[in-house]
Chains A and B, each alone.
Chain A
Amino acid sequence: MSTEMMGMGGGPDERQKVSLTRGDVQRSFWLWTFFSHANYNYERLQGTAFAQAMAPIIRKLYKDPEDIKAALKRHLVFFNTEPNVGGIIHGAVIAMEEQRANGAPIDDDAINSVKSGLMGPLAGIGDSISQGTITPILLSVGIGLAAAGNILGPVLYLVAEVGIMVALAYFFWMQGYDRGRAGVIDLLKSGALDRYLTGAGVLGNMVMGALTFQFVHVYLTLHFGFDVGGGQVKDFDVMRDLLNPIVPGLLPLGFTLLTWWLLTRRRVSAIWLLVVFIVVAMVGAFPIFAGPDTPFGCESILNAFFQPETCVAAPPAS
């Protein structure tokens, strides 16, 4: 409530109404979209970015220096959410500030509770949408193309990802402003987001499955030589003669599911897996068991588990 208004002694209806234009709300949106993580830090996370995004709003709504100070401090506190979907909070807060500047009884607590109450849930939903589904799906397509030597892979990813994210962020920001606080909660409860997430889950699983086959390589080249009589030795390759005829591609699938199981069910940290896998790969390649007597014709016995091409036919005895 500005002091000059009080001085005039007029009621709320006599106040000059300050209203925001679409342009003000959009200016705030772009400030946030550009600078949401410009000063990301452990103490406030996106706190100062929230204040920067509110700058055009505060400048337009408040003229009294005390009101400006209070508004700046109000929006410099700890804040952290997913920046695109979470923009719905900013939209709702802008709507509340506008009402407040026009005399509605909205105090600091009301605004703070919307910010701190919604930022957690929207971080969860938003990360699931942007980092958990849209980004990996588009990355999968881009990686699949690029690995085949097509530089359109990264280009397509970049264009589609940025286009979708900006559109999504703008949509949620404006939804927040137009619907206000109550409308935001209705939207979250409506199930519309669940529907999109489920659909994205179908698509995400499909491309992730394809990607697994394309990029995860696990070989088992265990050989057995059977003496079939007459000096003939029949070569029996476990992968070629036993596993692949049953289900082709079983090993990479099993290995990926094992990794998933370790990560989620056994709560093994990804870093440990990283270290273990690299060590396993190095041990697998290390020729410590190599020698002229190696039965499989490999540099290393363990090598046989990973790389068929290093374990071709045993060198002929000279």
Chain B
Amino acid sequence: MTRVHDPGRATKLAALVSVAVLGSLVLAGPVLAQETPTVTAGLLQAALVGLGYYLSNSPWILGIGGFFGLYRPLVAGLFVGIIFGDPVRGAQIGAAINLLYIGFISAGGSIPADPSVAGWVGTALALAGGLSAEQGIALGVAVGLLGTIIFFTRMSVDAVFAHWADARAEQGDISGVARMNWLPPQIFLFIISFFPATIAVYAGAPVVQDAINNLQANAPWVLKGFEIAGGLLPAIGIALNMRFIFRGSVIPYFFIGYFVSVLSGGGVNIVAVAILGAALAVLHVTFLGTRPMEPKGAEA
């Protein structure tokens, strides 16, 4: 949540790719055979998703409950699932999308993407299209890249309100300065986040449904590709987080965690692994101290 950097060439390319992907879905949509949609998005449901997306970036839920709560696709997925009447599938899709952003750090150097819009709008569209959790990842990623437009708009325009605050400071108006920090920027944020997200869900859901039906009938390999990507992309999210923690004397624990899971076969219980990890953490700190792992290198 610290330094933010401008989108590089790769970001722009990625944005273009996602526009192209979504654009071709839009174009492909109407051609297709209609089937009964899995989930229909009414205006109220779309608006609730838009509201959730706004709240995730807003200060209203303790501040912390926004960025560290609703902003995460895992949490967003559950709420979107509730909105569409299928909390379990919503949470599963949100969890899958969140994998890619598990190492998301809003500081320099991380994926310049918007996990929140990927979680809120991505989950809604994936539910509407009847996608599996793994297939939903690629869709969420594309939406998440587009969401950066909202972030950069906000970061640029909000500077204006800082000058409004300066003017109040000049008059010694304490409440005025305080108000400039939340009132105008939140009205602006509501406009640029609630409406696009609502429209994306309301107008996008039928398009995505048609496109998915179309793909299923004519080019099932694309959906297969989504699924394959769903198995590869989590490696990026995990590796991004490993930049912070996969260093020094604690590296072996990554392999312990991995092979404990291998040995337990398909049924990995993540809570059990976490409890084992906490026990090992106490042992490690008690007997080996802290020297080898330093917090530097977390270039935040």
* Majority SS at the chain A contact face: helix
Question: Among the listed A41, A154, A218, which residue makes an inter-chain contact with B159, where contact means beta carbons less than 8 Å apart?
Answer: A41
Inter-chain residue pair count (beta carbon < 8 A): 449
Residue A200, interface by CB 8 Å: yes
* Majority SS at the chain B contact face: helix
Q: Which of B247-298 contact A (CB under 8 A)?
A: 247-262, 268-271, 273-274, 276-278, 280-282, 284-285, 289-290, 293-296, 298
Question: Among the listed A45, A150, A215, A277, which residue makes an inter-chain contact with B99, where contact means beta carbons less than 8 Å apart?
Answer: A215
Interface size class of A (residues with CB under 8 A): 35 or more
| Alpha-carbon distance A44/B132, docked complex (angstroms) | 42
| Alpha-carbon distance A211/B228, docked complex (angstroms) | 17
What are the residues of chain A within 8 A of B64 when measuring CB–CB? 33, 84, 161-162, 165-166, 169
What are the residues of chain B within 8 A of A249 when measuring CB–CB? 258-259, 261-262
| Alpha-carbon distance A272/B11, docked complex (angstroms) | 8
Q: Which of A136-166 contact B (CB under 8 A)?
A: 136-137, 139-147, 149-151, 153-155, 157-158, 161-162, 165-166
Interface size class of B (residues with CB under 8 A): 35 or more
A271/B180 in contact, CB under 8 A: no
Question: Among the listed A153, A165, A277, A287, which residue makes an inter-chain contact with B232, where contact means beta carbons less than 8 Å apart?
Answer: A277
A146-B241 in contact given A125-B295, A141-B270 (Cβ < 8 Å): no
| Alpha-carbon distance A7/B180, docked complex (angstroms) | 34
B281/A38 in contact, CB under 8 A: no
22 contacts between A and B (CB under 8 A): A31-B178, A38-B185, A41-B185, A42-B4, A48-B161, A48-B181, A58-B174, A72-B177, A76-B162, A76-B177, A136-B245, A149-B91, A195-B290, A197-B290, A205-B250, A209-B253, A209-B257, A209-B273, A214-B268, A274-B14, A281-B225, A281-B229
Chain B contacts to A: CB under 8 angstroms: 1-4, 8, 10-11, 13-14, 17, 58-60, 62-65, 67-69, 72, 74-75, 77-78, 81, 87-88, 91-92, 94-96, 98-99, 102-107, 110-112, 133, 138, 141, 154-159, 161-162, 165-166, 168-172, 174-175, 177-178, 180-182, 185-186, 221-222, 224-236, 238-262, 268-271, 273-274, 276-278, 280-282, 284-285, 289-290, 293-296, 298-300
- Cβ-closest 6 pairs across A and B: A209-B257, A144-B270, A217-B231, A206-B277, A41-B158, A285-B225
